[in-house]
C-alpha cells in the first residue's frame, strides 16, 4: 500500500512518489503494476532496515497465504522497473532466507512538490480516464461492456449466436445492481475481431470488457470467453466450453449461466485487488465494500469484525448502499451462527434489521433477500426463509449462494431430492465460491437423509478440508465418519472442531442448523451422542 506519510524518494534518475502513487524516470511517468509499486514504496520507505518476507506478505498481500515464488516474482518486477536485477542488486538487495533491503542512495522529499511530467504513455491515459469517469459518474461501481463474439470457422445457421449469446449475458448481468452494464446498442458497435479492450475502455469508460469466440471445427464447437481489465489489458479470467455442434443451442443457457456466475465471483476479487492499492483516504463506498467482502469470506472472528468496520465505512460514504447493509447483516449473522458474540439472539436481531434495510434500499438486490432468508432460518422459521431464498433466486437465477441456501434449508426441512439438486447446481454455477465448503457439507447432509452414508462421509470429509470450513463443518465430518465406522476419522475431526470451540455440543449445532424433526435428525443426534456430545 502507498506510504501514509506521502513522501517522494529520489534515487539515480528515478522519483518514487507515494503521494501520487507513481514512479517517474527523468520526469516521465512509468507504467508499473500497482502491487509492484507498493512493494517499491515499502522498501524505499524502510531502507534503513531489512524488510522481512512476512512483513511484505502482510503489507502487500494483506496477510493472505502466498507462495515464495509470488514474492520472488514481485521482487523481480520491482528490480526491473528501476533497471536493477537479481545478479547486480544495485538497488534492491536480497538477504538470503530473510528478506530484502533497499540499498540505493535516496534523497527524500515531502509530498508538496512542483513536478514537470512529460506526456504519459497512452495506456496510462486510458487508465486515468477510466478511473476518473468511474469516480465521477458511477460512484466507483464496477462497470463492464460485453462485446459481440467472433465466429471462427465456416458460416452457417449458428452465426446468430455470436450476437445472441452475449446479448443473453448482458440481460442477466443487468440484474446485478452492483454492476454497471453497458447497453447492447453501445457495446455491439465493437464488432471487429481484433478490437482492443483498452480502446473499449477509453470509448465506453468501463473497467471490464468481456470478449468471446465461437469456433467450429468439424462437428465440434468451442466457445471461449475472456474477462479483461481495460486499464492494462490483463486477462483476469477465461474459460472454454466444448460440445457437439448439434448441441450448441442446448449449451447456450448453460454457458450463459456459468459465465454470469463466474463474473459475479471474479469481478469482486479484482476490485479487492485494486482497492488494496489505493490509499485509505481514496476509498469510496464500493472500494470499502469490496475490501469488507474479502475479509468477510475468510471466516475468522477477527476478519468478521474487520469486515463489519469496512461495511460501516462504506455506509458513511453512502448511507443507502444496499450491498454494504447486506454485508453488515452477514457479519452479524456470523456472530450469532458461530457464537462470536456473547448475545447471539441480539446479533440475530441486528442481522435481520440490516437485511430488511438492505431490501428497502434496493428491492431488486438478490443479496439483500438472501440475508433476510438467513436471518429467518437460524431462528427456525424455515418455511419463511425459503420464501426469501426463492425471491433471491428469481431476481438472479444464477446467484449461486441463494441457490445454495435454498438447498440447505430444503435439507433441514426434509426435501432432499430438490435440495440436492439445488446444492449441485450451486456448485456447478460457482465451484470456487467462498461458500463452496458449505455447499459440499450440505450435500453430505442430503446424502445422510437419503440413507447413503458412504457418500455422506466422503462429502463430509471433503468439505472439512476445504478453505473456510469451520467447527460445524468439521463436526459434520466427524459424525458422518462415525456413521460408517471410521472411528479414527471421527475422532480426528471432532478434535479439530473442539479445538476451535471446546464447548461445542449437539445443542450448539442444532441452534445453528435448526433441523425439523426428521429421521435424519434422529440419526445425527444419536451419532453425536455416541461421540460424547
Q: pLDDT (tens digit, 9 = 90+) per residue, 46-71?
A: 988 999 888 888 788 766 666 777 78
Residues paired with 151 in a beta bridge: 214
Question: How confident is the model over 117-131, as a mean pLDDT?
Answer: 45
- Cell numbers describing residue 463: 468439505
Which residues, in sequence order, are bridge partners of residue 212? 225
Residue 215: its H or E element: strand 208-217
Q: Return the CATH fold of 415-533.
A: 1.25.40
What local confidence, expressed as pLDDT, does residue 136 receive?
41
How does the average pLDDT of the chain come out, rounded? 86
Q: Please state which of the four CATH numbers 1.10.274.10, 3.60.21.10, 3.10.180.10, 1.10.10.10 is assigned to the domain occupying 8-109.
A: 1.10.10.10
Q: Residue 117: is its pLDDT beyond 70? A: no
| pLDDT > 50? residue 10 | yes
Q: What is the pLDDT of residue 369?
A: 95
What's the pLDDT score for residue 121? 47
**E strand map for 255-405:** none
**pLDDT score, position 188:** 87
Q: Is the pLDDT of residue 118 over 50?
A: no
Q: In this structure, are residues 235 and 213 in contact, taking their beta carbons and an 8 Å threshold?
A: no
Higher pLDDT residue, 29 or 20? 29
User: Could you read off the pLDDT of 469-504 as tens digits, one per residue?
Assistant: 999 999 999 999 999 999 999 999 999 999 999 999
Domain range list for the chain:
8-109, 122-274, 282-397, 415-533
What fold does the segment set 122-274 form as a domain?
Rossmann fold (3.40.50)
Q: How far apart are CA 328 and CA 350, in angstroms?
A: 9
Q: Which of 266-270, 317-321, 355-359, 517-521 has the highest mean pLDDT?
A: 355-359
58-67, 207-216, 260-269, 436-445: which range is least confident on average? 58-67
Answer yes or no: same fold for 282-397 and 415-533: yes
For domain 282-397, give the CATH number: 1.25.40.10
Residues contacting 362, CB < 8 A, separation 6+: 177, 322, 368
Note the pLDDT tens digit of each residue in 274-297: 887 777 767 888 889 989 998 999
The residue ranking higher by pLDDT, 234 or 137, is: 234
Q: Distance (Å, rounded) from C-alpha 491 to C-alpha 477?
A: 10
More confident residue, 121 or 458: 458
Residue 209 clears pLDDT 90, i.e. is over it? yes
Separation CA 304–CA 333 (nearest Å): 10
pLDDT of residue 135: 44
User: Does residue 160 surpass a pLDDT of 90?
Assistant: no
What's the confidence (pLDDT) of residue 233?
Answer: 85
> Each residue of 400-453: pLDDT tens digit?
999 999 999 999 999 888 899 999 999 998 888 899 999 999 999 999 999 999
pLDDT band at 130 (very low <50, low <70, confident <90, very high): very low
Measure Cα distances from 35 to 74, 75, 267, 448 in Å: 8, 10, 18, 46
Q: Quick check: 279 and 269 in contact, CB under 8 A?
A: no
Q: Considering only residues 281 and 462, tell me which one the structure prediction assigns the higher pLDDT.
A: 462
Largest pairwise CA distance in the chain: 76
The percent of residues in the chain predicted with pLDDT above 70, rounded, is 91
Segment 172-187, tens digit of pLDDT: 888 888 888 998 888 8
pLDDT of residue 416: 85
* Predicted model pTM: 0.67
Cell match 518486477: residue? Answer: 77
Amino acid at each position: 500500500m502507498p506510504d501514509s506519510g506521502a513522501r517522494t524518494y529520489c534515487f539515480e534518475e528515478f522519483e518514487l512518489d507515494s503521494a501520487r502513487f507513481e514512479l517517474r524516470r527523468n520526469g516521465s511517468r512509468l507504467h508499473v503494476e500497482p502491487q509492484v509499486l507498493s512493494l517499491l514504496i515499502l522498501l524505499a520507505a524502510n531502507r534503513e532496515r531489512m524488510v522481512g518476507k512476512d512483513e511484505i506478505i502482510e503489507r502487500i498481500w494483506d496477510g493472505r497465504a502466498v507462495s515464495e515464488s509470488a514474492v520472488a516474482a514481485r521482487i523481480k518486477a520491482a528490480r526491473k522497473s528501476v533497471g536493477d536485477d537479481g545478479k547486480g542488486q544495485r538497488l534492491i538487495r536480497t538477504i538470503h532466507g530473510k528478506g530484502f533491503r533497499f540499498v540505493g542512495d535516496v534523497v527524500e522529499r515531502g509530498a508538496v512538490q512542483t513536478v514537470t511530467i512529460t506526456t504519459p504513455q497512452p495506456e496510462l491515459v486510458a487508465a486515468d480516464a477510466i478511473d476518473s469517469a468511474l469516480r465521477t459518474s458511477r460512484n466507483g461501481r464496477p462497470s463492464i461492456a460485453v462485446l459481440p463474439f467472433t465466429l471462427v470457422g465456416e458460416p452457417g445457421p449458428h452465426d446468430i449466436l455470436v450476437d445472441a449469446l452475449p446479448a443473453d449475458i448482458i440481460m442477466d448481468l443487468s440484474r446485478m445492481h452492483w454492476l454497471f452494464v453497458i447497453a447492447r446498442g453501445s457495446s455491439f458497435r465493437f464488432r471487429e475481431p481484433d478490437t482492443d479492450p483498452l480502446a473499449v475502455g477509453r470509448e465506453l469508460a468501463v473497467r471490464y470488457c468481456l470478449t468471446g469466440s465461437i469456433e467450429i471445427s468439424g462437428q465440434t464447437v468451442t466457445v471461449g470467453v475472456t474477462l479483461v481489465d481495460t486499464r492494462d489489458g490483463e486477462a483476469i479470467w477465461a474459460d472454454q466450453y466444448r460440445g457437439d455442434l448439434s448441441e450448441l443451442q442446448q449449451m447456450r443457457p448453460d454457458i450463459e449461466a456459468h459465465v454470469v456466475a463466474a463474473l459475479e465471483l471474479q469481478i469482486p476479487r479484482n476490485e479487492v485487488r485494486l482497492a488494496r492499492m489505493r490509499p485509505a483516504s481514496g476509498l469510496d463506498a464500493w472500494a470499502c465494500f469490496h475490501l469488507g467482502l474479502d475479509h468477510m469470506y475468510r471466516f475468522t472472528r477477527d476478519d468478521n469484525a474487520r469486515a463489519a468496520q469496512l461495511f460501516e465505512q462504506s455506509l458513511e460514504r453512502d448511507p443507502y448502499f444496499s450491498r454494504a447493509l447486506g454485508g453488515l447483516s452477514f457479519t452479524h449473522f456470523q456472530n450469532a451462527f458461530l457464537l462470536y458474540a456473547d448475545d447471539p439472539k441480539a446479533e440475530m436481531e441486528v442481522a435481520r434489521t440490516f437485511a430488511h434495510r438492505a431490501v428497502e434500499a434496493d428491492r431488486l438486490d438478490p443479496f439483500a433477500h438472501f440475508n433476510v432468508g438467513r436471518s429467518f432460518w437460524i431462528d427456525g422459521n424455515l418455511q419463511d426463509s425459503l420464501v426469501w431464498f426463492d425471491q433471491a433466486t428469481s431476481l438472479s437465477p444464477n446467484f449461486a449462494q441463494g441457490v445454495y441456501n435454498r438447498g440447505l434449508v430444503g435439507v433441514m426441512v426434509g426435501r432432499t431430492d430438490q435440495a440436492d439438486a439445488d446444492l449441485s447446481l450451486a456448485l456447478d454455477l460457482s465451484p470456487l465460491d467462498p461458500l463452496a465448503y458449505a455447499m459440499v457439507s450440505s450435500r453430505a447432509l442430503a446424502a445422510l437423509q437419503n440413507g447413503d452414508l458412504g457418500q455422506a462421509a466422503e462429502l463430509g470429509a471433503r468439505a472439512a478440508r476445504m478453505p473456510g470450513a469451520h467447527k460445524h463443518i468439521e463436526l459434520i465430518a466427524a459424525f458422518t465418519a462415525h456413521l460408517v465406522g471410521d472411528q479414527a476419522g471421527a475422532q480426528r475431526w471432532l478434535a479439530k472442531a473442539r479445538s476451535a470451540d471446546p464447548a461445542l455440543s449437539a445443542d450448539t449445532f442444532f441452534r445453528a442448523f435448526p433441523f425439523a424433526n426428521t429421521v435424519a435428525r434422529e440419526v445425527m443426534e444419536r451419532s453425536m451422542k455416541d461421540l460424547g456430545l
